[in-house]
Amino acid sequence: MISDPRPQAALPPDPRRTEGVHPDHPDLDRLEIPELVWALADDQTGAVEAVRAAAPAIARAVAAALPRLERGGRLVYVGAGTSGRLGVLDATELTPTFSWPVSRAVPLIAGGEKAIREAVEGAEDDPEAGVADVATAAVGPDDVLIAVAASGTTPYVLGAVQAARRAGALTVGLSNNPGTPLLSAVDCPVLLDTGPEVISGSTRLKAGTAQKIALNTLSSAVMVRLGKVYGNLMVDVRATNAKLEGRAVRLVRHATGADETAARDALIESAGSVKIAIVKLLLGVSADEAAARLEAQNGHARAALEEG
C-alpha cells in the first residue's frame, strides 16, 4: 500500500464527550472474556452516577409536566436510533404498568415504525421530518414532549422540539453532552453526562443506559404523582392474564390484609381493578362506591381513603 505523501490537516476534536475515546482499556479487543465482561459492566456504573447528578433537573421536569397531564395532556417521546427506541419502550410500558391510555403515550422515532427494528439511514438528519411528525401527532399546549438524543445535536429531534414549542407544548430534553443545542432548545433540560464510552462512540452503552434510567425515573415519578401508586404499590394495574391476576391478588392482600378469597372476590367485583378493590375492602363499601370515591379524588387512592 502506497501512503499519501501530502500533508494531512489535523481534524478538530469533536466537542461531544460521547464521541471521545475512552482512556481506559485501549486493548479491549485483547481482553479475556471475564475481563472483557467486567470492563463493559463496570463502565455502566457511570450511567447511574449521571442520573443521580441529573435528579434535580428531572424533578423540575416532573413538576412542570404534571399540570398539563392533569388536564388530559399526553406524553410524546421523540428520538432517533437507540434514543428513539428507548422512547418507544418507555411509552409502551406505561399502559401495562399504570393503565395509562395508549392514546396518551405517543412515541415518535426518526424513520417511523420500521426504525424500531432496523436502522433507517439518514432519517435522523431531517429536521423537517421531526416537524412533520409533531404536526401529524397534533401536539398541543397540554402535551409534554420528551426529546432524547445522546449527542444533543440530532436534526430530527431538534426539528420536533421547535415544532412542539411553537404548538405550546412543554418540552423536556435528555442529552448526554453538555452545552448542546437540544439542552438550549427545551424548557426543561436534563444533562446525563456519561462521557466517553468504553467502546468509543457506541452510545447504546452507558449513554443509553442513563437515558433508560432517566426515562423510567421521570415517567414513574409522574405516574406516582398522578395517583397511579398507593404507598409503593402498583395499584393501577389491571389483571389481564394469569401472571397479572396473581400479582393483583398479592397487591390487594398486602394493602388490605385480606385473605386470598376476599381479595379475589373484591377484584372480580371491581372488574380487575386493584385500586378499586383496595378502597372497597378498606372502607367496606361496594365496588361502585369505591370507584365513585376514587373518581372524586382524581384517582388518588390515599385521598379517597382519607376522605372516606
pLDDT in tens, 141-169: 999 999 999 999 999 999 999 999 999 99
Asked about 124 being catalytic, the answer comes back as yes
> Residues near 136 by Cβ (< 8 Å), separated by ≥ 6?
none
Q: List, for residues 30-44, the tens digit of each pLDDT value.
A: 999 999 999 999 999
- pTM equals 0.90
pLDDT grade for 74, boundaries at 50, 70 and 90: very high
Q: List, for residues 9-26, the tens digit of each pLDDT value.
A: 555 667 776 665 677 788
Asked about 19 being catalytic, the answer comes back as no
Catalytic residue among 19, 49, 93, 245: 93
Burial-class residue 104 by CB neighbours within 10 Å (0-12, 13-18, 19+): middle
Q: CATH code for 42-225?
A: 3.40.50.10490
Burial-class residue 59 by CB neighbours within 10 Å (0-12, 13-18, 19+): middle
pLDDT grade for 1, boundaries at 50, 70 and 90: very low
For the chain, give the number of residues. 308
Architecture of domain 230-307: Orthogonal Bundle (1.10)
Ranges for all domains in the chain classified under CATH 1.10.8.1080: 230-307
Catalytic residue among 32, 35, 49, 124: 124
Ranges for all domains in the chain classified under CATH 3.40.50.10490: 42-225
